[in-house]
Structure 1
Amino acid sequence: MENSFGAWKQPIILLTSIGISGLGDFIYLVAINLLIYQMTGSAAAVAALWVIGPIVNVLTKFWTGSYIDYRSKRKVMIGTDIVRAVLVFFIPFLPNIWLIYTVLIGISTAKAFFVPSSMTYITQLVPKNRRKRYNSIQSITMSGAFIVGPAVGGALILLGSIDTAIFMNAASFLVSAILLYFLPEKEEIDQQHAPKLSFKQLKADWNIVFQFLMAQKYIGIVYGAYVASIIFSFAMDAQEVVFTQRVVGLSEVDYSLLISITGVGAIIGGIFVSIFSNQLSLRLMIAIGICMEAVGYVIYASSWSFLSITIGFVILGFFNAFLNAGITTFYQNNVSTKIMGRVTSMFQLIQSLVQIVFVVLVGAIADIIPLRVTISILAIGMLMIAIIVTVIVYSPSKKLYFRET
């Protein structure tokens, strides 16, 4: 039976592993920001933390996929969890900020391997007919980590110290690795014949990715449009604090409450999708998810009060669960696991590059024209992308791309 515990035992272990490491990420986020500020007293030093991840992605994503696809995804995930656990553990003992930044680069590099590996391993472990429900439950765990993580981090710092929170984060990565150890190996890798990383091999691998996307243009267009919507939302999120406080006039307490409300909306959306996943088609989940998320941003862009922003945030949080579960399942069902690491890394590389440029550009434009106008343009642009995606997704001739069995 699809819903029997035996059928879900291994996916539940994987969900728990990824959920625990995700919770640790948010505990770490609170702790490392406070640690850097405590050491330097500089807002710029704290802001630099947010640049490390995208820069590392740009420098690593063009080759991580080639490494991942020729190795055991499970072992890569275990290895990166252990590396992150060790690196995080040593942060409190480092004497200066430059050594901490160096370690943070190492942590971000490990994460650059973990994300594409986990996408492929989930596809290998979870049968096609259960992926939609699995992805919706994973959306719940990540949204839960988003809400609970900072709260746990704050409590650990309050009851103990910043170091306590950091050690807890290291422990979370270790627990995640232990859980992954008990999951099965889902592929046979001939390590002796795995190609070595070289410029020639990277060029050949990128050609394989391009050939796949040329042969499967529809997959590239749908997923590429989704990535574009993420970039638009990221650019709006980067100006969120300034917009809510300076333009709308909300307090820091109001803003914190809004973030929590968004997370709760995402959790409720994930629960709804997980319960009714068999009644919701992939096309409906993607279309309604991206359209209503865009509507949420449009409401947010035109907001004038706490209530109106709350409505926008609840809508985008709730329907984000539909979009994430739908598009992830579509991607897993249509991209071969043999090249998934390379394809995922390519999309993430493009996303990181455009994100950096886009955020800087939006920040500069916001100093020239009113921020509300800037946010409104981005929200309308995202809505246009959503409408285009809906039309593409419901193309009658592309129905086979959305089969779930």
Structure 2
Amino acid sequence: MSRTSTLLLSFGISQFGDFVYLVTINVYLYQLTGSAAAVAGLWIIGPLASLFMKFWAGSVIDRVDVRRWLIGTDAIRALLVALIPLISTLPLIYLTLFGLALVKAFFESAAISYLTQIVPENSRKSFNAYRSLITSSAFLIGPALAGLLLLVATPGVAIWINAVSFLVSGLLLLTLPSVPRAASTPKLQVGDLATDWRTVSRFSRTNRFVCLIYILGILSMSLALAMDAQEVVFLQTVVGLTTTDYGLLISITGIGSVLGGLTVARFANRLSLKALLVSGYLFVALGYLLYATADSFLMVTVGFLLLGFFNTFSGTGFLTFYQNNVPHDLIGRFTSLYGLGQSLVQILFILVIGFTGDVLPLRFSIIVAAVLLAGLSVVLIVSVLRSNKEAFFREDQTTKQIS
């Protein structure tokens, strides 16, 4: 099996486990507490954990053998997930879930660093496209698999199966090569954190276009997540859809995501980064506008199909763009420190949309969020299409290393 195939299989198994876990932990927590508020708290745990983790995680990632740390985080995630069904009190469950979110936040930044280093630059777009395809497939199949497991077993058994998926993912990573740091790389000291912040700040000032595209991308993702947090309430109480309709819409979105992933993977070498970014952000924005103004099942379906299909375009283009333009030895710190800001924005957007949805019509809040997302997308598209920025989209460019 090739190196890239092993990577895809490892992260794919982890992705499928994540989607099984996403469904089963909600069911398990609701069965345990009977509280919708307790389940809703899951939306905040991830961003909060990122606040504690990402301001220093990148400094570690850029100084260590990342593969070993990825394997370690897989093992820790497996242990923490396996403990959940054995805990019966809500505070301990939340503490375990918070610990799990901390490790996941580290894993996400470390994975980007490892993938950037081990996948050749001329293969990144294709690799990211196949990874998006796997994520889309997991989005479609994972919840269905979780539903099947919940029919034949308890939520605890489904959660333990998820723990096994992390172990398998870690074992596959054992077969891949390390990308060790130079022997002269000093160990992390407390004072290095401030130095790393200044290094990222210096890179940001001298590479403003790269940072502009990155910031626009993470702001768009944060707005989308905030709207998704209100999705069930909006569709059932405002649009008037049933639970069955919602389940069907999720399946349709999953099918759209798989088709989008197949399209990008099949034509990755023919689709330029500009084409991926422009088409992806344009049609994702259109999808959210249709969703926000929808008054029928058909209109929501069209919006969700656009979201499912073109999210793969925007995601692949966004990830490949910044992998190509941020130096390998800085990407851990860059991803983590900007991720810290992203987590703050996510929490703010989720709370604002949730709060305004209680004091103002929810339709108004969702439309405002969709219009803001569309505005960000327009700025990003215009920026990408500027003729004097061609150098940032050369597929064969070599980035300079910054320590």
Identify the TM-score tier after normalising by the shorter chain: over 0.9
Could you tell me which residue of structure 2 aligns to residue 342 of structure 1?
333
Pick the aligned partner of 2:187 from 195, 204, 210. 195
| Partner amino acid, structure 2, of 1:42 | S
- In 2, Cα distance between the equivalents of 1:49 and 1:300? 24
| Partner amino acid, structure 2, of 1:156 | L
Identity of aligned residues (%): 45
Could you tell me which residue of structure 1 aligns to residue 299 of structure 2?
308
SS at match of 1:367: helix
Could you tell me which residue of structure 1 aligns to residue 166 of structure 2?
173
Could you tell me which residue of structure 2 aligns to residue 3 of structure 1?
none
How do 1:56-135 and structure 2 match up within 5 A? 56-135=49-128
- Structure 2 spans left out of the alignment, 5+ residues: 397-403
- In 1, Cα distance between the equivalents of 2:185 and 2:285? 47
After superposition, give the CA deviation of every residue in 1:306-355 in whole Å (9 maximum; x if it has no partner): 11100011011111111000111001101111011110011211111011
| Partner amino acid, structure 2, of 1:144 | S
After superposition, give the CA deviation of every residue in 1:184-242 in whole Å (9 maximum; x if it has no partner): 1133343x8533341x2111111101001111001000111111111221222122112
| 2:125–2:317 contact (8 Å) kept in structure 1 | yes
Could you tell me which residue of structure 2 aligns to residue 273 of structure 1?
264
| 2:216–2:376 contact (8 Å) kept in structure 1 | yes
- In 1, Cα distance between the equivalents of 2:264 and 2:238? 34
- In 2, Cα distance between the equivalents of 1:288 and 1:167? 40
How do 1:164-313 and structure 2 match up within 5 A? 164-190=157-183, 193-198=185-190, 200-313=191-304
| 1:53–1:105 contact (8 Å) kept in structure 2 | yes
How do 1:142-153 and structure 2 match up within 5 A? 142-153=135-146
| 2:261–2:312 contact (8 Å) kept in structure 1 | yes
- In 2, Cα distance between the equivalents of 1:355 and 1:17? 28
Shift in Å, 1:62: 0.5
Moved more, 369-378 or 285-294: 369-378
| Partner amino acid, structure 1, of 2:334 | V
Pick the aligned partner of 1:320 from 291, 311, 315. 311
- In 1, Cα distance between the equivalents of 2:228 and 2:43? 13
How do 1:321-400 and structure 2 match up within 5 A? 321-400=312-391
Task: Give the TM-score normalised by the residue count of structure 1.
Answer: 0.95
Aligned length: 396
- In 2, Cα distance between the equivalents of 1:107 and 1:17? 19
Could you tell me which residue of structure 1 aligns to residue 151 of structure 2?
158
After superposition, give the CA deviation of every residue in 1:5-27 in whole Å (9 maximum; x if it has no partner): x8xx1111101111111111111
- In 1, Cα distance between the equivalents of 2:326 and 2:364? 39
| Partner amino acid, structure 1, of 2:277 | I
- In 1, Cα distance between the equivalents of 2:92 and 2:186? 34
Task: Give the TM-score normalised by the residue count of structure 2.
Answer: 0.95
Shift in Å, 1:369: 2.6
- In 1, Cα distance between the equivalents of 2:394 and 2:86? 52
Shift in Å, 1:127: 0.9
- In 2, Cα distance between the equivalents of 1:101 and 1:371? 29
| 2:43–2:229 contact (8 Å) kept in structure 1 | no
- In 2, Cα distance between the equivalents of 1:347 and 1:33? 29
SS at match of 2:359: coil
- In 1, Cα distance between the equivalents of 2:40 and 2:229? 12
| 2:63–2:181 contact (8 Å) kept in structure 1 | no
- In 2, Cα distance between the equivalents of 1:95 and 1:281? 51
Could you tell me which residue of structure 2 aligns to residue 13 of structure 1?
6
| 1:71–1:189 contact (8 Å) kept in structure 2 | no
- In 2, Cα distance between the equivalents of 1:365 and 1:329? 35
- In 1, Cα distance between the equivalents of 2:255 and 2:32? 33
After superposition, give the CA deviation of every residue in 1:227-260 in whole Å (9 maximum; x if it has no partner): 1111221222122112111111100111111112
Shift in Å, 1:281: 0.8
- In 2, Cα distance between the equivalents of 1:295 and 1:307? 15
Moved more, 93-102 or 388-397: 93-102
| 2:64–2:180 contact (8 Å) kept in structure 1 | no
After superposition, give the CA deviation of every residue in 1:89-145 in whole Å (9 maximum; x if it has no partner): 122222422222222122111111110111111111111111111111111111111
Give RMSD over aligned pairs. Answer: 1.4
- In 1, Cα distance between the equivalents of 2:87 and 2:285? 43
SS at match of 1:267: helix
Shift in Å, 1:267: 1.1
After superposition, give the CA deviation of every residue in 1:67-86 in whole Å (9 maximum; x if it has no partner): 11111111111110011111
Moved more, 76-85 or 382-391: 382-391
| Partner amino acid, structure 1, of 2:144 | A
| Partner amino acid, structure 2, of 1:288 | S
Shift in Å, 1:270: 1.0
- In 1, Cα distance between the equivalents of 2:275 and 2:37? 43
| Partner amino acid, structure 2, of 1:324 | G
Shift in Å, 1:368: 2.9
Moved more, 180-189 or 55-64: 180-189
Moved more, 355-364 or 327-336: 355-364
Q: Does 1:28 align with 2:21?
A: yes
